[in-house]
Structure 1
Amino acid sequence: MFLATRSHPDFAIGPLFVRATVTPALGTTAVDVLWSLVIPPTKSGADIEQDLFLLWPDEVDELTVRGTPDPELARYVEARGYSVIGDGRLPLHAQSLYRMGREAAPQPIPGGAPFVSFVRQGGPLGLTSPATYVRIPWTPLLANRTWLMRLGMGLPRLVRPRPATWVENVFWGPRYTISLTFNDVRGRALFPLYLENRDRVVRLADEPSQLLINFTHTEHLKIQDVFPGTATRRMSEVLESTQVVSAFLEHAQGATPQVLTVQFGYFTGWQSWAPVLFAALFFVLGNLAGPLLTMLVKRVGGKLSGRIHISPRSVPVERQTGTVVSRETLARIAPGSTTYEEVIRLCGADHEEHEQPLAPDRRLLVYRGRKVVPQRRRRFGWLSTVSRWDVEHHEVEITLERNVVQDVQARVRRTHLAQPGAA
């Protein structure tokens, strides 16, 4: 936010460009503030001659010029209860809009722009975030519409890391957030100064003003999100391998904060292949671990099924496979009188049938079945432990001639097993 020296300034800022440049180093971010003044046609540069001031919601670092700090700035903020954490002078240049060649080089303003960074300590809410108060000395070029003033700053905290899991950091690289603002005086350090000097605020003119962020090395850049949605992304027309994210400033917003936020990250060469490598790794591990896991599940599942039995009944429930012909059913089969149809009705159709080519009138029906009964040791509700499994193998052979039963043979073999499926 710009402030004038005198109250109710009758000039405005326009155009205004706040430009940040982000590199993969992600250290101190270089920020340039470029602007000019819009003076009413009834006024001249001499009529409005005065210093300008800039309230910036962060501390500045490194990008300074030689010169002694301005003690008046330090006394001004200290008189209002702030503590100075840094001071110096920022580079200030004037850039011609129409000169070409060597004449187009920016002209440095001697002495630059003095600044002071400060915080407020103590108070009910504790330490505040740092802020900076910059004095921009008057120069006739401020009133010249063919020149843009450029104030350079180095901001160490403009790019902030975004919280992420270690998996995201390893495979996709760290993610960061950068926010450029204008008229942002919501911080506890800046708001009292704005409230005191709100009659000195220099408004934004009806000129094309923008917030811009230049991202270098776009071949390693991944932008995840941009706010506001009206912001645009494009490749720079003059800077090599640079992507520009920009948002226009609305002069009708008055003193309302306007923000441009970008979530981004720089990745290395192998991280660009992370989705493919990640899928390939899971494919290989799946093929290697699948058989091992299947074998482990079968082994553990077999042991558990052999030692644990679940049943709501107090009497053990037997498991039966195949066809087990009971003694009562066998007693109803009479050789010489029982027919094939009666055997099927009594014993069922789940049987083996053997025929002899040399004796087509004779055939043999074989019924096989298996009973498994758990011998429970301890019982806890529906759950009980099993000491062993009693297994009965039943086999019945029925010989028929001309569809009449001639002979019935029944055999039962009993075994004791630790696992129900072991035999």
Structure 2
Amino acid sequence: MTVDVLWSLVVPSTRSGAMLEQDLYLLWPGEVNGEAGGGPPDPALARYVRERGLTPVREGRLHLYARGLYGTRGARAAEPIAGGAPFVTFVQEGGPLGVTPRVTYVRIPWHPRMINRTWLMGLRMELTGLLKPVPATWVERLFWGRRHTLTLSYNEVRGRGIFPMYFEHRERLLRLADEPSQLLAVFAQAEQLKIHDVFPRTASRRAAEARVATEIVSLFLDHAEGLVPQVLTVQFGYYSRLQAWAPVLITALVFALGNMAGPLLVTLARHLGPKLAGRFHVGPRAGPPRERQVGTIVPRDVLERLVPGQTTYEDVLRLCGVDAEEHEQFGRPEHRRLVYRGRRTAPQRRRRFGWVSTVDRWEVEHHEVEITLERDVVSDVQAHVRRSRLAQPEPG
């Protein structure tokens, strides 16, 4: 990733530009990649950090250039400065928290165009660790692509690696001028760009005027903030053409799978549901197993209240219920039979896991009561009970 630092110096009206001729130094909170063929490193920088107990890990030179604000036809947009800007990347070892993050110390040689108001000085750095991936599941990466977080800051000196060097030179720190200063993040291929979040909310987002398919997120720096860190954070991602169609494709896929899975689930539930219900029982541990009853089962004490020769048809319906089969013989309207049938099924539990228990077998009782009436008066009562054991309860 390429980062350009552009600046110019504002000379007070009470001072001469010749009095400011000195090198500038930049502290960058991270590691940078030098320019290929930019020249040998500056050994004085490495010696400088070693004298302070720091360990150099990388040296080189960065691309330094000047850019005219009012370019004429045929003039170059950027004029390289010979020799570039030497740098050294260092860490601090042996601290209580271990090795510090890497910090880069850059020496920017003095150039007269630093104080020329019609020119901007530029320092170009190639960075590898500026983008941080956003944690996401494989489903999110599949449909929405990879997301990254870009963080640019000014006056952020709270890191363990950068703070000692800043504290030593805090009296020589260059302040922001009254002229506008800003942090800019330029994104190419804007047609495939998705910006999820921007912080702070005062940052602006706009399309580039001179570049096609380019989007810019910017934050103006407030010089009145002093040494307060000012940070611009952008969470973004790039999606492919297939991922752009993801909402439509997902909706169509869900619709198709719903139509296909509906009959399949109904069939599975119809076949597997009774089998699972016959093998597992849900109920409290202390209470008796929950029985299943189908039809009408006439209790024994009710049968004892049916007295032949006394109990009437209305009494039978009142005591036993109206859910009975009624049989009449052709040619004998005064003779009828009421038949009550019912089935009681009770599980025999084996192993328990809380409220869920496995079922070893099912105890089944078939009850059948036949009541014979002559001229709407009970003449005979017959009760039959058949008991059996089943591995699966009967349906119904």
Q: When the two structures are superposed, what TM-score results if normalisation uses the length of structure 2?
A: 0.84
1:349 aligns with 322
Deviation (angstroms), 1:289: 6.4
Shift of 1:46: 1.7
TM-superposition CA deviations, 1:291-312 (whole Å, max 9, x none): 475344542331234xx99774
Point out where structure 1 has 5 or more consecutive residues left out of the alignment. 1-28
**Counterpart in the other structure of 1:128:** 100
In structure 1, which of residues 180, 183, 189 is the aligned counterpart of residue 161 of structure 2? 189
For residues 306-325 of structure 1, the aligned pairs below 5 Å read 312=286, 319-325=292-298
The aligned counterpart of 2:81 is: 109
Match of 2:369 in 1: 396
Identify the range of structure 1 (276-285 vs 361-370) with the bigger mean alpha-carbon deviation.
276-285
Q: What amino acid is the match of 1:299? A: K
Q: Is the 8 Å Cα contact of residues 35 and 60 (structure 2) preserved in structure 1?
A: no
In structure 2, distance between residues paired with 1:362 and 1:123:
108
In structure 1, the partner of 2:276 is 300
Structure 1 residues 380, 268: closer, same or farther in 2, change over 3 A? closer
Displacement after TM superposition at 1:35 (Å): 1.1
Partner of 2:50: 78
Alpha-carbon shift at residue 276 of structure 1 (Å): 4.9
CA deviation map 1:209-251 (0-9, x unaligned) = 1111111112322222222222122222222212211111111
SS in 2 for 1:234: strand
Distance in structure 2 (CA, Å) of the matches to 1:178 and 1:221: 14
User: Do residues 235 (structure 1) and 207 (structure 2) align?
Assistant: yes
1:316-335 to structure 2, matched below 5 A, reads 319-334=292-307
Match 2:171 to one of 199, 203, 209: 199
Pair 1:378–1:208, CA change in 2 (3 A): closer
| Partner of residue 54 from structure 1, selected from 14, 18, 26 | 26
Would the aligned equivalents of 1:313 and 1:382 in 2 still touch at CA under 8 Å?
A: no
Per the alignment, residue 216 of structure 1 pairs with: 188
Q: Could you tell me which amino acid in structure 1 is paired with residue 90 of structure 2? A: F
User: 3-state DSSP class of the match of 2:17?
Assistant: coil
TM-score between both structures, scaled by the size of structure 1: 0.79
> Are 2:187 and 2:216, in contact at CA under 8 Å, matched by a contact in 1?
yes
Q: Which moved more, 1:285-294 or 1:356-365?
A: 356-365
Q: 2-side partners of 1:380 and 1:168: how far apart?
A: 37
> What is the alpha-carbon root mean square deviation over aligned residues?
3.5
- 1:160 is the counterpart of 2:136: no
Deviates more, 1:226-235 or 1:144-153: 226-235
Give yes or no for the alignment of 1:34 onto 2:6.
yes
Deviations 1:9-40 (A, max 9, x none): xxxxxxxxxxxxxxxxxxxx101111111111
More divergent stretch after superposition (170-179 vs 371-380): 371-380
Aligned residue for 1:38, secondary structure, equals: coil
Q: d(CA) in 2 for partners of 1:379 and 1:200?
A: 78
- Return closer, same or farther for 1:378/1:288 CA change in 2, 3 Å cut-off: closer
State whether structure 2 residue 344 is matched by structure 1 residue 371.
Answer: yes
Superimposed CA distance per residue, residues 160-217 of structure 1 (whole angstroms, 9 cap, x where no aligned partner):
2233333333333222221111122222222111111111111001121111111111
Give the superposition deviation at 1:333. 3.4
Please identify, of 366-375 and 381-390, the stretch whose mean Cα deviation from structure 2 is larger: 381-390
> Residue 356 and residue 235 in structure 1: after superposition, are their counterparts in 2 closer, same or farther (change >3 A)?
farther
Corresponding residue number in structure 2 for 1:21: none
SS at match of 2:339: strand
Aligned-partner residue type, residue 128 of structure 1: T
Distance 2:74 2:354 in 1: 95
Q: Provide the aligned length of Structure 1 versus Structure 2.
A: 392
Partner of 1:14: none
Q: CA deviation at 1:358?
A: 8.2
Separation in 1 of the partners of 2:306 and 2:172? 115
Mapped to 1, the partners of 2:222 and 2:347 lie a distance apart of: 82
Change (3 A) 1:417 1:98: same
Kindly report which structure 2 residues correspond to 1:244-259, keeping only aligned pairs within 5 A, or say none.
244-259=216-231
Counterpart residue number, 1:265: 237
In 2, the alpha carbon distance for the partners of 1:369 and 1:228 equals: 74
Distance 2:51 2:285 in 1: 84
Distance 1:364 1:276, change over 3 A: farther
- Unmatched tracts of structure 2, length 5 or more: none
Shift in CA distance, 198/154, structure 1 to aligned 2, threshold 3 Å: same
Q: Comparing both chains, which one has the higher relative contact order based on Cα–Cα distances under 8 Å and sequence gaps of 6 or more?
A: 1
Q: For structure 1, which segment, 190-199 or 79-88, has the greater mean C-alpha deviation from structure 2 after superposition?
A: 79-88
What is the match of residue 290 of structure 1? 265
CA contact 1:230–1:247 (8 Å) conserved in 2: yes
Q: 1:164-179 counterparts in 2 under 5 A?
A: 164-179=136-151
Per-residue deviation, 1:153: 1.0
